[in-house]
Structure 1
Amino acid sequence: MGEIPEILWSHPQLVAAVTSEDWGAVFRTYRKLTGLSQTKLGERVGLAQSDVSDIERGRRQVTSVEVRQRIVSGLDLPPDPQATAARLTADTAPVTGVAVPGAVPDEDLLARVTSVVDMSHRVDAATLDWLDRLLAEHRRAEDFTGSRPLIDVMRRQLRTVVDLYAGARGRLADRVIRLASEHAQFLAWMAQDQAQTAAALAWYDRSHEWALEAGDANMAATTLSMKAHMAWSGGRGARCVRLAEAARWSAPGTSLGVQGMAVQMAARGHALQGEASDAHRLFDEAQRLISRASERPEDEPVWMYFYDETWFTLQRGMAALHLRDWREAAEHITAGLDALPDEYRRDKTWYRACLAHALAGAGELAQAVSVAVATVPDAAALGRPHSWNELHTTASLLMRRDAKEGRRLVIALREHD
């Protein structure tokens, strides 16, 4: 079956799931971290794939002591996951410039991926496996820290990946190109997050080109969806719709989740233009795709880890915000925020700013100010222009509705400017 890496037990979501004996969450998180299919995980724990699927989806509960013991033995669960996580986090030294606990490989591998690559040395699968894992950890770190601390790190890491290409042969060369495409897409997202529009567009274009070269339909479509997101962020609804449609139809063979992302982006573009019927129709279609995708999460690319019902609820809230259905927007965003884990600090900050906007639009002025003021410190700390701008938009709306309430938010913004 292969050795199970102990470092898995430094991951907080997995530790929390094991500690609470939420076996569905254990299975989902374990597979996300290891890349195992439901069938392969079933082989480890002595369950059929259909049983693994039912447990993940909450259709079956683990009540048998014998089944529980098979899971504990098959996944090599530590007796005290929290103590193990604390030890691993304390014992692992971060890579230079990379503050990601538990991401350190053996010394030889570490030296090869953090220094100038010797082009006479052949690239091997172990190097690329580690870079895959490191990119996944960086994505999750950015969910909490925001993009600002990671941009320079990721630029250096992409240079390392590109340098590897000269020493790669055959299938390894294809993997290097795919990995470069994923790095470029992440860099584009971070540039977009920091309102560096020209850099983001350039990185998305480069990512798309590399994805096509690698034959990666999912990444090719994702880059177009993210360019649609950029158009949406800039208030260009028609361009958002066109790019989203291109994401869906120009790359055949994409996963259901990637298709769902493209459809909901088109829905957001229509909402931005005030086209409610088209927006609602496409959101319904996207939700059907999400539901089908959730039945086979192993078919989704690794960067789609965030795409679930919680995220979709938040997107419906954003559409309602565009359509000025303030109370519906507040209800959806509140429900999404309640379900969004704390490690998504960056997204929580953005959606709280949007919630304040929706509450102000609905006339709930005191509540809007309370939410907005509480959001200001995180928005300032993360250095995310979009959240900051949304808070200023809310302040302007409040000033029109009630100058006293508006001034409270303006003062809070000035204190952190």
Structure 2
Amino acid sequence: MGGRRTGLIRARKAACFTQESLAHALNVDPTTVGHWERGRSEPLPYKRPKLAKLLGVSLAKLEELLAEGTQTQAPQPATTAEPTGPSPEPTLMPRGGLLARVMVNGRPVLVPLDGATAASELGSLLPPALVAGDEASLPAAWAAEWDAMNPLSRRSLLTHGFAATALPALGLEDLERVAEAMADARRYFDGPVLDYLSRQLNACKADDGTLGPAKTLPLVLGVVGAIEEHARDVKPSIRRDLLRLGAESAEFAGWLYRDVRDFGRTLYWYDRAMEWAQAADDRAMQGYVLLKKAQLAFDQREPQRMLTLAQAVQHGPWSLPNRVQAETVQQEARAEVMLGATADAVAPKLDRARQLLGVRDDGASTLGAHYNDTLLTMQTAICYTEAGTPRRAVELYDEYLVEDRFSPRDYGFFLSLRAGSLALAGEPDEAARTGVESAARADSTSSRRTKQELVRVLDHLRPWTNRPAVAQLREVVAS
């Protein structure tokens, strides 16, 4: 078979799927989706109705997309398919400098693009296209510190695959310490290095709601990669703390992949977080990961699984902060309305969640530190919508959905939910206008999760498909 099916690719992207997430939804291998899009094979007949539904097209339209092949290309080896395992983004712009992803000793590594590095002994490791570098993009202080490092330490940072993403945040002394830790984890991987990795993770979390996963994820994967590579080599006295940090980092990586709707990688990192939490005997994190899986089940609209996981969180052998318990009870209530319960039937659970949230936590745990009364109110609105009372949800959104209470990404997400409630309440124009505003924020923060909610909004707006505001929303969602 010949041509590249550009129409099929556009339809997948418009429906906010990656090849991996679409493959996960269809229970096929990601390379299979890649073969469909490159014209090497076609979906089997029994797969086509579900594929059409996921892409939001008719079966007839799907047949047209499969017949389309406007860009021909020679067959490529299977190794050119989209990667199925976690990997850093190709390039990124961290604070204060430019990094490039290159292969060093068979491992993907982020290295600084500066002329001095290219001219040094490290230059032989870089592709020729990078030798010129981009010195102007690098701050003078960083370049000076990089040049002042012992060459062996520079090589250690690169060849051991540590997150060079963090270099601008380090002083020379810290650079040397991290380099030593990467070269000899058992001897040098100590408390200060662990503290540094923890600070980097916290900085990523603080930036996430503004920068979005496209810019935050490479940094997080760098931290996780350092932990994963050296956990087996560090001194026993620090291994448990390192695994705890690994569990926290993996859970956050799972959340970032969830925001881009790559559910396969989301589950991969949640499972890694659970494994590390068990190895570190961090029972609270084990319960927290189950809560995160319950939230993922909502994104996938699997209420039975969502209910089972939420109940498992409550009955497990761990002690969780009250704010985490509050969110868990709310998740249980939402699952029950999705399974047919009325809003009045789950009202006691929602009241219980609010009571739990009002009780101060005595422990030092930071799990669920972001969860507050405003978020619980937003989730209560979701419950009302799922229970068939969207007007009550709109009233809550109108009162509590205020921009300065949320990060840009979260504000855009809850706007998409407000748009859905408005559509179900019979207010198509206001729903569409709200959806357009939500889409702008989804684009700026790379939130495919928000875009997928807007696809659902368009489904609710089908009775008003010819209204100008609805047509505008459809255009921005497809862009």
TM-score, normalising length from structure 1? 0.70
The letter for the 2-side match of 1:169 is K
Q: Equivalent residues in 2 for 1:180-259 (5 A)?
A: 180-259=246-325
Correspondence for 2:391? 327
Q: 1:91 to 1:307 in 2, by over 3 A?
A: farther
The alpha-carbon deviation at position 190 of structure 1 amounts to 1.2
Amino acid at match of 1:282: K
Distance verdict in 2 for CA 1:98–1:355, change over 3 Å: farther
Equivalence map 1:71-82=2 (5 Å): none
Corresponding residue for residue 355 of structure 2: 288
In 1: Cα distance, 2:190 partner to 2:430 partner: 56
C-alpha distance in structure 2 between counterparts of 1:93 and 1:261, whole Å: 43
Q: C-alpha offsets along residues 87-112 of structure 1, whole Å, 9 cap, x if unaligned?
A: xxx9997984359xxx8344232344
State how far apart, in whole Å, the 2-side matches of 1:113 and 1:333 are.
Answer: 47
Q: Hey, what's the Cα distance between the residues in 1 that align with 2:375 and 2:404?
A: 8
* Alignment of 1:145 onto 2:211: yes
Which has the larger displacement, 270-279 or 245-254? 270-279
Alignment partners' CA distance in 1, 2:440 and 2:355 = 37
One-letter code of the match for 1:130? Y
Cα deviation 1:247-301 (Å, max 9, x = unaligned): 1211322222222222122112112223124532222211111111xx23x6253
Q: Distance in 1 between matches of 2:475 and 2:414?
A: 21
Where 2:185 maps in the other structure, the secondary structure is coil
CA distance in 1, matches of 2:327, 2:142: 37
Q: Structure 1 residues 93 and 337 mapped into 2: Cα distance closer, same or farther (>3 Å)?
A: farther
- Closer, same or farther: CA 239–300 of 1 in aligned 2, 3 Å: farther
Aligned residue for 1:385? 448
Asked if residue 275 in structure 1 is aligned to residue 341 in structure 2, the reply is yes
Looking at structure 2, the residues matched to 138 and 379 of structure 1 have their Cα atoms a distance apart, in angstroms, of: 19
In terms of mean alpha carbon deviation, does 193-202 or 223-232 score higher? 193-202
AA partner of residue 192 (structure 2): A
How many positions carry a matched residue from both structures? 319
- CA separation of 1:120 and 1:234: change in aligned 2, threshold 3 A: closer
Q: What amino acid is aligned across from residue 352 of structure 2 in structure 1?
A: E
Change beyond 3 A, Cα 1:198–1:165? same
Residues 200-220 of structure 1: CA distance to partner in whole angstroms, max 9, x if unpaired?
112111211211221212211
1:297-317 C-alpha deviation (Å, 9 max, x unpaired): x62532422101011111101
Tell me the residue number matched to 2:422: 359
Superposed displacement of residue 181, structure 1: 0.6
Aligned-pair Cα RMSD in Å: 2.6
Amino acid paired to 1:97: T
1:358 deviation in Å? 1.0
Structure 1 residues 187-234: Cα deviation after superposition (integer angstroms, max 9, x where no partner): 111112211112211211121121122121221111000111111111
Task: State the 1:339 CA deviation.
Answer: 6.6
Q: Distance in 2 between matches of 1:193 and 1:327?
A: 27
Q: 1:303 to 1:147 in 2, by over 3 A?
A: farther
CA distance in 1, matches of 2:220, 2:340: 38
Pair 1:345-2:408 in alignment? yes
Q: Which residue of structure 2 lines up, in the alignment, with residue 68 of structure 1?
A: none
Deviations 1:130-179 (A, max 9, x none): 22122111112111122122223222211112234244334421100101
Q: What's the CA shift for 1:372? A: 1.4
Label 1:258 to 1:382 Cα distance change in 2 as closer, same or farther (>3 A).
same
Q: Which has the larger radius of gyration?
A: 2
What letter is aligned with 1:281? P
CA distance in 2, matches of 1:321, 1:386: 18
Q: 385-394 or 220-229: which moved more? A: 385-394
Kindly provide the amino acid, as one letter, of the partner of residue 165 in structure 2.
G
1-structure distance, mates of 2:352, 2:194: 37
Partner of 1:110: 175
Contact persistence 2:209–2:445 (CA under 8 A) = no
In the TM superposition, what is the alpha-carbon distance from 1:182 to its structure 2 partner?
A: 0.6
Cα distance in 2 for residues equivalent to 1:141 and 1:337 = 21
Q: Percent identity?
A: 22
Contact 1:310 1:340 in 2 (8 A): no
CA 1:136–1:325: 2 relative to 1, 3 Å: same
Choose between structure 1 and 2: higher helix proportion: 1
- Unmatched segments (≥5 aa) in structure 2: 1-138, 144-162
Partner residue, 2:433: 370
- Report the 3-state secondary structure (helix = DSSP H, G, I; strand = E; otherwise coil) of the residue aligned with 1:149: helix
